Amino acid sequence: MTPPLSLTEQIRAELTEAQTVLTQFVQNPANLAAIEQAARLMADSLRQGGKILTCGNGGSLCDAQHFAEELTGRYRQNRPALAAIALTEASHMSCVANDFGYEYVFSRYVEALGRPGDVLLAISTSGNSPNILRAAEAARAAGMRVVSLTGKDGGLLANLSDVEIRPPHTGYADRIQEIHIKAIHIMILLIEQLVAEPASGDGGTR
């Protein structure tokens, strides 16, 4: 019988596995391209007066909130506030969950706030959360674009997305979430840079 790992060995094993997953993600050029495409899509929307709505469940809801507050607040640059809303308001969610069902808590928000040219950042480690799928469907119906952070095989959300960012799957959702937060931080970094650039046709600085 193999003896149990010591706490130090468990710590090392966890960090090593996380490092391995990140390395696998970085080595796939499609993942890097997807992050850039997502950032450009969102920056274009913001520069044209649009906004970003974002949603998720559990830890992914926390990631959605973090994404939005870094845009309305700041990440690394002092710049004007950027329009981003995490779909998390408690009274709305309890009302819709009670009256319609929990699968509608995000889609009703999107129907109320989403406009053509806006972007939905939908976060689901399985890609199959019913309320996230309905939000993506509502976004597409509203003429919005959909960026998704998924996992496993991408689920049904993959086919509803204009851009999908999907970490490699190791069997645990926390490894997926670790890549999600890295992608979120990089997208915010790029968005801050892109919205500060002169729009095409502006002629740049003189």
Q: Is 161 annotated as a binding residue?
A: no
Annotated binding-site residue? 31: no
Task: Compute CA distances 131 → 51, 109, 123, 150, whole Å.
Answer: 20, 11, 11, 14
Taking the C-alpha atoms of residue 125 and residue 151, their distance in angstroms, rounded to an integer, is: 5
- Is 70 one of the annotated binding-site residues? yes
- 17-182 carries CATH number 3.40.50.10490: yes
What integer pLDDT is reported at residue 204 of this predicted model?
A: 41
Ranges under pLDDT 50 in the chain? 201-206
Beta bridge partners of 55: 122
17 is in an annotated binding site: no
**Is 185 annotated as a binding-site member?**
yes
pLDDT of residue 7: 97
In the sheet that holds 163-165, the strands lie side by side as 84-86, 52-55, 119-123, 145-149, 163-165
To the question of whether residue 94 is assigned a binding role by annotation, the answer is: no
117 is in an annotated binding site: no
Domain boundary assignment for the chain: 17-182
Does the annotation place 27 within a ligand binding site?
A: no
60 is in an annotated binding site: no
pLDDT at 197: 81
Read off the pTM.
Answer: 0.93
The pLDDT assigned to 100 comes to: 98
